[in-house]
Structure 1
Amino acid sequence: MTPHDQTPPPDAAPEQALEATAEEAARRAEHEREQERLEAARREAVMRETALGLDLCLRIGEVLLSSGAGAADVSATMQSVAASLGIRNVDVDVTFTSLSMTAQEELGDPPVVGNRQVSRRTIDYDQLTSVDHLVRALLREEVDLRQARTEMGRITSTGRSRPRWAVTIAWAVMCAGVGLQLGGKPLVIALAAVSAVLIDRIQHRMAKRRLPSFYQQVAGGGVATLLALGVAATPLQINVSQVVTANIIMLLAGVGFVGALQDALTGYYVTASARLMEAFLATAGIIAGVSGGLSLGGAVGLPTPVLEPGTYNLQTVGMLVLGSALAAAGFAYASYAPLRVLPAVAGVAGAAIVISRTLAEVDLARAWSTAFAATAVGLVAYHLAARYRVPPLVVVVSGVVPMLPGLSIYRSLTLLSEGGSAISEGLLAMVAAISVAISIASGVILGEYLAQPLAREASKLEHRLSGPRLVGPLKVPRPKRRKRGSTTTGSLRTVTPEQEASDRRRRQRQRPSSSPS
């Protein structure tokens, strides 16, 4: 057969070209379908990781909000955590009872939404400190999303850091310190401590039965007043007003005045209104309980003397400082604050009460003297918190406890119970108590405004006035941009089965071409 006979027929070449074109089109279609599957798998993995990240942010926000942190601090902290995890386009909505968070990776992607209800309102500064440390570790990229979720689960599931009986003793120490601060004798100090134990146990049992806090405050105020009046009916010489005032301050210590005013100043008016209503109901419960006890005492003929603020000299200033330090440290311990910060809290409270009393002695109005002292607390709280590795909120709330207006509330109630011309004076005393509470809250927030810019050395006015932060870091990191084809969240990468199979096929195709011919 000649070579000419081996030549393919003329129609064979176009058929081979058509077959090659069809195969190429099929390969391209298969490649496009594979890319679409990979892109869908990537988007699904990104949404799954985003949902996990939002859940972590919401759980962190729940702990902060329930511990008394301001809504601005909660929102900024949640945004910081989301940015450190690479979650972009985040919207946070904080109210008094719920948290919601929305994230959208790209403009055309469906948003990922998370919600969480805030039901409990117990102060636990140990848990708050642990969450604050976790947030800072996330921002420093020391932990990834999985590790952070595991640690957050451990923090929230672990029980209290100290036994309940120790907390009860701490409340007793606090009231004993307030009694010492008011110049009470040993019997007054002891009775204030005993009243604190009874109030704590009664309120603890009522909380287990899920009775509202209003009724718990009524019971606390009534128990304190009736016990003091009952002891006063015996031959024992005791100052009823000092005992009742000490227990009023104990009941006021857990009311969130600072968080309510911070929310109002930072523009969270809905949350501020809810917190102010909660503070109003708690204070009204105290007033109802104490006034009920005083009315009962007056009905049976027991005297209810009005306690007037006394003058202080070098001999009594030591007892004043010691009592204030004990009261602040006792409250911090009862609120589960870390032990390392108790000396700092005691020192801050002692210095603040000296500033307040000194300014009051030079005829400065009590509201202004208290405001200056609270501003000093806010100034030093930020630096002490950084030194002792706790949120500034722990130092601030504990340090202002001895300045709470328990004395003004008691004077107001006793004057109102007398009737007649004393009613107007009693109303003025109640207004004075409200003004002192506002002075304390606004003073500590002003102190934080002044202290934090000095720490971060900001030069622009808008940076200096962007605070204050009582919980969480000052700087909010920029969201990280995820690499295309990767579902990285923080330092965690999720590989889908489709991506793993595609990588395996790609390596198999590249292996023959890389071998020597």
Structure 2
Amino acid sequence: MNGMNSFTQLVRRSFGKIIAAQGSVKIADFEKIDNTLTPNMRALRLVMTMADQLSSMGMPAHSVTNLALNITDVYCQQKVHIDISYTQIFVSQDRGVDREPLTLIRTITPRETNYQLMQQLQDLSAKIANHTLTLDDAEKSLDKILSRVRRYPRWVIYIASGGISAGSAILYSATWPLVLIAFFVGAVTAWLLGRLGRLALPPFFTQVVASLFITLFASALMWFVSHGYVDFMGSVNPTLITVGGIVLLVAGMAIVGAFQDAIDEYYVTAGARLLRVAMMTTGIVAGVGIGLYASRKLGISFIPTPDRLTFASASYQYLGAVIISASFALGNHTRLGGIILTGATGLLGYYTFLASSGAGLSSIPANALAGITIGFIATLVSRVWHMPSLAIVNASIVPLVPGLILYNGLMGLIAPENAPGGDDLLLRAILISVAIAAGASFGVLVGRPTRRSFVLIRNSLPQWPLRSEDRE
């Protein structure tokens, strides 16, 4: 009994010490001072928000990381490590032996690309890097920018999408009725994509539905023309109409962006983007396949691949390239001056491509040389025109991207009778994408020091000096 009483007292004393110890523990609030976030945490929150916005609009991971580190170097005393893996942003900070390390994670939410917003965020980052904004002012500026995002009405976006389809048709044909039909198909397809997006459909099924609509529309138009119900348009090429609509769906820019991240050694992000490209293009092929099957059951048959088409004259190709580049910029909420600039840069890039091809270069080095030209010019003029060089590059290379070749390659794997040689086409699309991405990256790398030299020369003159910050 005495042993039992001793054991009971021991247990009571032990629990009493544990409870007393828990009551005496003081929880140190390392991240708050007077119930407010510390400047370090506020700076990290600012960086996360800006990185999330820029990444969600398609800016390369390397550019976002550099921009974010420029901000943390100003507002944070300890160094910060930032990593981006397509859908997530990781921010880590080792604060020494006497403070806990910080790790912040945020999921990237896909957003509509807005080049005006991108420029405003880059301007804010440049001001911070120049030590011209306090943390309070930077937070207020960011809140103001995000609360007043400038966007065009939806009908303008539909017109821009129609312009991309019409420009693609002009590359292959000078028949204006067909160009107008392609414009209509592109505008309606953009409207349909917007409606499907509101239903929160996965991109794969969105691609299936949109490509099915385009194929059925081309088949129906061909049936009306062949039966004499529509005779004011002359001969109708349903392949060209299909290509004009599908160019809005093909992930040509996405595959170039994926290889851009691979060149910058962000392999996880690059791999994820490449898989997304494959899924989206597979959705297009599936939708076209369903549409072709339905058309054949109704007695309508045509080849929905652009490899059977021939390009129009050089003048019409230049016109198509200008319309495609300018329409792409307009569809991403670019200012009027930027739209004119991207159209001119797209023309220059396409001219470089045709001139190189005419000089005997194959398509791969010709596309690389065009990418170098576009990247170099975009970097030189972006500061003067107050527009992100990324926006100029992305819009100007759209006429060059191998989205239709990628589509042809997958169509060849699924339906060899429509597009033979699918393996070769896929390899060609990959090599062209790498060439464009590498060329544009090299052009930007060469353009930056060249632009700095021009700024130094300009500032040496007895006039009002320009700021020499780098906004990329």
Residues 124-157 of structure 1 show CA distances to partners (whole Å, capped at 9, x for unaligned) of: 2221111111111212233221121122122223
1:191/1:228 contact within 8 Å kept: no
Tell me how far 1:43 sits from its aligned partner. 9.1
Shift in Å, 1:214: 1.5
Which residue number corresponds to residue 152 of structure 1? Answer: 142
Secondary structure, aligned partner of 2:66:
helix
State the Cα distance separating 1:77 from its structure 2 match: 1.0
Q: Which residue of 2 is the match for residue 275 of structure 1?
A: 273
The aligned residue for residue 282 of structure 2 is 284
Alignment identity in percent? 23
Q: Deviations over 1:283-307 (max 9, x none)?
A: 2222222233233334433232454
Aligned match of 1:304: 302
Q: What is the number of equivalent residue pairs in this alignment?
A: 420
User: Quick one: which amino acid aligns to residue 124 of structure 1?
Assistant: N
Look up the match of 1:326. Answer: 323
2:283 corresponds to 1:293: no
Q: State the partner residue of 1:119.
A: 109
Question: Compared with structure 1, are the counterparts of its residues 201 and 54 closer, same or farther at alpha carbon in structure 2 (3 Å cutoff)?
Answer: same
SS in structure 1 at match of 2:421? helix
> Secondary structure at 2:123's aligned position in 1?
helix
User: Out of 206, 226, 231, which is 2:216 matched to?
Assistant: 226
Partner in structure 2 of residue 445 of structure 1: 441
Separation in structure 1 between the aligned mates of residue 411 and residue 302 of structure 2, nearest angstrom: 7
Instruction: Output one character per residue of 1:317-367: Cα deviation in whole Å (capped at 9) or x when no partner.
Output: 222111111111111111112222111100111122222223334453222
Q: Which residue of 2 aligns with 1:260?
A: 258
Give, in whole Å, the separation in 1 of the partners of 2:252 and 2:140.
30
- Cα contact 1:138–1:148 (8 A) shared by 2: yes
Paired with 1:168 and 1:54, the residues of 2 have a C-alpha distance of 38
Alignment of 1:4-43 (within 5 A): none
Equivalent-residue separation in structure 1 for 2:325 and 2:150 (angstroms) = 20
How far apart, CA to CA, are the structure 1 residues paired with 2:270 and 2:311? 37
Equivalent of 2:375, from 372, 375, 378?
378
Give the 3 Å change call, closer, same or farther, for CA 85–175 of structure 1 in structure 2.
Answer: same
Superposed CA RMSD = 2.9
Residues 448-457 or 260-269, more deviating = 448-457
Is 2:337 aligned against 1:347?
no
* d(CA) in 1 for partners of 2:178, 2:82: 50
Are the aligned partners of 1:253 and 1:401 in contact in 2 as well (CA < 8 Å)?
no
Which of structures 1 and 2 has the bigger CA Rg?
Answer: 1
Check whether the contact 1:57–1:78 (CA below 8 A) recurs between aligned residues.
Answer: yes
Q: Name the amino acid aligned to 1:99.
A: I
What corresponds to 2:451 in structure 1?
455
Counterpart amino acid of 2:140? T
1:368 corresponds to which of 365, 370, 390: 365
Alpha-carbon separation, structure 1, partners of 2:386 and 2:371: 21
* Worse-matched range after superposition: 248-257 or 279-288: 248-257
SS at match of 1:91: strand
Superposition deviation, residue 197 in structure 1: 1.8
SS of equivalent residue, structure 1 residue 403: coil
1:166–1:65 distance in 2 versus 1, CA, 3 Å = same
Rounded to whole Å, the distance in 2 between the matches of 1:350 and 1:174 is: 14
**Aligned pairs for 1:8-157 within 5 A:** 44=33, 48-157=38-147
Q: Residues of 1 paired with 2:311 and 2:320: CA distance?
A: 16
Cα distance in 1 for partners of 2:184, 2:276 equals 27
Aligned-partner residue type, residue 240 of structure 2: Q
Partner of 1:167: 157
Give the match's secondary structure for 2:113: coil
In the aligned structure 1, how far is the partner of 2:274 from the partner of 2:403? 18
Amino acid at match of 1:438: V
Alignment of 1:356-505 (within 5 A): 356-409=353-406, 411-412=408-409, 419=416, 424-456=420-452, 474=470
Can you list the C-alpha shifts for 1:213-235, whole angstroms capped at 9, x where unaligned?
A: 11112222222222112111122
Instruction: Tell me the residue number matched to 2:168.
Output: 178
**1: distance between equivalents of 2:222 and 2:289?**
17
- With normalisation by structure 2, the TM-score equals 0.81
**What is the SS of the residue equivalent to 2:310?**
coil
Which of 176, 191, 194 is equivalent to 1:201? 191
C-alpha distance in structure 2 between counterparts of 1:179 and 1:304, whole Å = 17
Aligned-partner Cα distance in 1 for 2:263–2:68:
20
CA–CA distance in 1 between the matches of 2:329 and 2:309? 26
**CA distance 1:94–1:348, shift in 2 (3 Å):** same
CA distance in 2, matches of 1:184, 1:401: 20
Give, in whole Å, the separation in 2 of the partners of 1:110 and 1:407. Answer: 52
Higher relative contact order (CA 8 A, sep 6+): 1
Please, which runs of 5 or more residues in structure 2 have no aligned partner? 1-28, 226-230, 454-467
